[in-house]
Amino acid sequence: FPCYPHVPVIFSSRRYVAGGQCKSTAKLDGKVVIITGANTGIGKETARDLARRGKVILACRDIAKGEAAANEIRAETGNQQVIVKKIDLADTKSIREFAENVLAEEKELHILINNAGVMLCPYSKTADGFEMHLGVNHLGHFLLTFLLLERLKQSAPARIVNVSSLAHHGGRIRFHDLHGEKSYNRGLAYCHSKLANVLFTRELARRLQGNLMPADLSRNAFSAGTKVTANSLHPGSVRSELVRHSFVMTWLWRVFSFFLKTPCEGAQTSVYCAVAEELDSVSGQYFSDCQPAYISPRGRDDETAKQLWSVSCELLGIQWD
């Protein structure tokens, strides 16, 4: 059991909570991975796993915490190609600076894992005036992907992995009030942003595969596109710092910790989407516990996905055709 190499799993209920495991032993020799929010939680555990396979860039807002995580991972894996770079997904200037730095230093990029996120924030806005959940969880990663996409295409086959959530089932894209200025509920704001992750992944996959219809996003369609795939996932309910903005959720997480995944367990589906050989040509899908999972009807609304894409480009001041 990869998360507990020296401790046998005694309780079958705990094994059930742990969920699916990535069993792939694929190496990433000569390949480069970027993981946002990689200094803590599932991002850190994803980095720890992938550092055993290849070069990993930890994209972090807090450089000190990022270096601490990188030092720990280097010592454990023996891989000195674990690098920390600063990015603040709540500031488009920082995102652009990060991308410029990566493009200047890395001639190839093979895997982008958009993992970082915020949850249950009191109402606030990013440096660019976006509601915080939408700005960080969706728009920040939307811009980062846009800025790095050509390098991913040049390095293909390549993968984009977007960490969403089961919470997308409770979300909707409120185009009339995207930034929550008319009404705001921090729980729903998180759900809305996670739905945006699913819709972004769906539309991105369609565009990467030659503008094929979503129903055609399959192994057979891969050869028609860019050989860059995009998939989203639900990591599970994980014991992490993500609930730090809510006293109630923090308390509940502690009380029911036995029934929550560890960060290592929560990272399994991210790792699976990044390296599993059977996903080489799978795109536009949504996974949970290392297997395909059900997407909500709103998450399968292609017209909403297209509109969200257009509005996102407008908000960010970019042209992405």
Q: 282 by DSSP, 3-state: which?
A: coil
Q: Which residues contact 118 (CB under 8 A, 6 or more apart)?
A: 132, 133, 136, 137, 190, 242, 245
In DSSP notation, 158-178 reads EEEEEE--GGGGG----GGGT
190 catalytic per annotation: yes
Cα distance between residue 86 and residue 55, in whole Å: 17
Neighbours of 129 (CB within 10 A): 9
Cα distance between residue 305 and residue 197, in whole Å: 10
Question: Which candidate in 190, 272, 286, 294 is catalytic?
Answer: 190
Q: 32 by DSSP, 3-state: which?
A: strand
Question: The tokens of 286 are what?
Answer: 């949504």
Comparing C-alpha atoms, which of 65, 79, 94, 92 is closest to residue 33? 79
Question: The tokens of 314 are what?
Answer: 């407008």
Residues that are catalytic:
190
